């Protein structure tokens, strides 16, 4: 079974630039999550999708972050404009939903904002 | 937000010894818990899970204990191996179906 795919693996940008991350969840997984992991900390939930609808985006800084999951499969997370404090690893996770709630994570995108 | 914390940020053990990693959670309504292992440069990897209607669950070399009275979770690793060196996170699922993670414990296995 293929895992959660994320790209790019690394990204370096200057502050005030924009950046986008892509995630392809495990086939058939209804729920998709984006997490932000700052160095030395645990993952912090940014947004959760159920199919193509948003379940929770209460911790997403909506003035600069946006995310979408068109057609309920792939998802993109965008930051515009980026700030220095956005430097982190952005992790995508998916779960089958319903009776199986296990989260499966991708390898993440490491973002450095200079 | 939710608060899921770990008692010890770092843990060093001798190869072959047993390891115990602890976690405190704050939401008494959380009904599902997962332990993850994260190696450098990789995403978190599922280790073992437990539902709130259980107090113990065993896997291969790992055991998770849940004490709902004191809102405490622990991960026991038997016969720790060098490959077990990583950061370990506990995650709790709230009634809103969101998962919240603790800070993590860095486990170092000394050969």
* CATH number assigned to the domain comprising residue A37: 2.60.40.10
The model's pLDDT over B37-78, given as tens digits with 9 standing for 90+, comes to 999 989 999 999 999 999 999 999 999 999 999 999 999 999
Q: For residue B49, which residues of chain A lie inside 8 Å, CB to CB? A: 102
Number of domains chain A is built from: 1
Q: Which pLDDT score, from 0 to 100, does residue B4 have?
A: 57
Q: Which two tokens stand for residue A15?
A: 């502050």
With a cut of 50, say whether residue B17 has pLDDT above it: yes
Inter-chain touch B93–A105, beta carbons under 8 Å: no
Which residues constitute the domain of residue A68? 5-113
Which of B73, B47, B51, B50 lies closest to B61, judged by CA? B47
Q: What is the CATH number of the domain that holds B47?
A: 2.60.40.10
- Alpha-carbon distance of B58 to A110, in angstroms, equals 34
With a cut of 60, say whether residue A18 has pLDDT above it: yes
Q: What phi, psi does A72 have (nearest 5°)?
A: 70, 20
The model's pLDDT over A66-113, given as tens digits with 9 standing for 90+, comes to 999 988 899 999 999 999 999 999 999 999 876 668 899 999 999 999
Q: Which pLDDT score, from 0 to 100, does residue A52 have?
A: 85
Q: Which two tokens stand for residue B45?
A: 């990897």
Q: Which pLDDT score, from 0 to 100, does residue B26 have?
A: 83
Nearest to A108 among B4, B43, B91 (CB): B43
CA quadruple A76, A37, B51, A1: dihedral, nearest 10: 50
Q: Which residues pair with A7 in a beta bridge?
A: A22
Inter-chain touch A42–B46, beta carbons under 8 Å: no
Which residues constitute the domain of residue B90? 4-110
The model's pLDDT over A48-69, given as tens digits with 9 standing for 90+, comes to 999 889 999 999 999 999 999 9
The interface residues of chain B toward chain A in range 51-90, judged by CB-CB distance below 8 A, are 89
Is some CB atom of chain A closer than 8 A to the CB atom of B1?
yes
- Alpha-carbon distance of B9 to A17, in angstroms, equals 35
Number of domains chain B is built from: 1
């Amino acid at each position: 079974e293929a895992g959660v795919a994320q790209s790019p693996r690394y990204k370096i940008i200057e502050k005030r630039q924009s950046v986008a991350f892509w995630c392809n969840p495990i086939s058939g997984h209804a729920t998709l999550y984006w997490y932000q992991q700052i160095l030395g900390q645990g993952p912090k939930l940014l947004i959760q999708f159920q199919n193509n609808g948003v379940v929770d985006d209460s911790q997403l800084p909506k003035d600069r972050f946006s995310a979408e999951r068109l057609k309920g499969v792939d998802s993109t997370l965008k930051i515009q404009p980026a700030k220095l404090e956005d430097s982190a690893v952005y992790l995508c996770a998916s779960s089958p939903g319903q009776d199986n709630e296990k989260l499966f994570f991708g390898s993440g995108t490491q973002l450095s904002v200079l | 937000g939710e608060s899921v914390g770990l008692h010890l940020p770092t843990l060093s053990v001798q190869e072959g010894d047993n390891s115990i990693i602890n976690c405190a959670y704050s939401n008494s309504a959380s009904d599902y818990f997962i332990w993850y292992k994260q190696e450098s440069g990789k995403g978190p990897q599922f280790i073992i899970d437990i539902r709130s209607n259980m107090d113990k669950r065993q896997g291969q070399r790992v055991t998770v204990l849940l004490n709902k009275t004191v809102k405490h979770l622990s991960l026991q690793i038997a016969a720790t191996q060098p490959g077990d060196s990583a950061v370990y996170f506990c995650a709790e699922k709230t009634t809103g179906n969101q998962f919240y993670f603790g800070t993590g414990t860095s486990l170092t296995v000394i050969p």
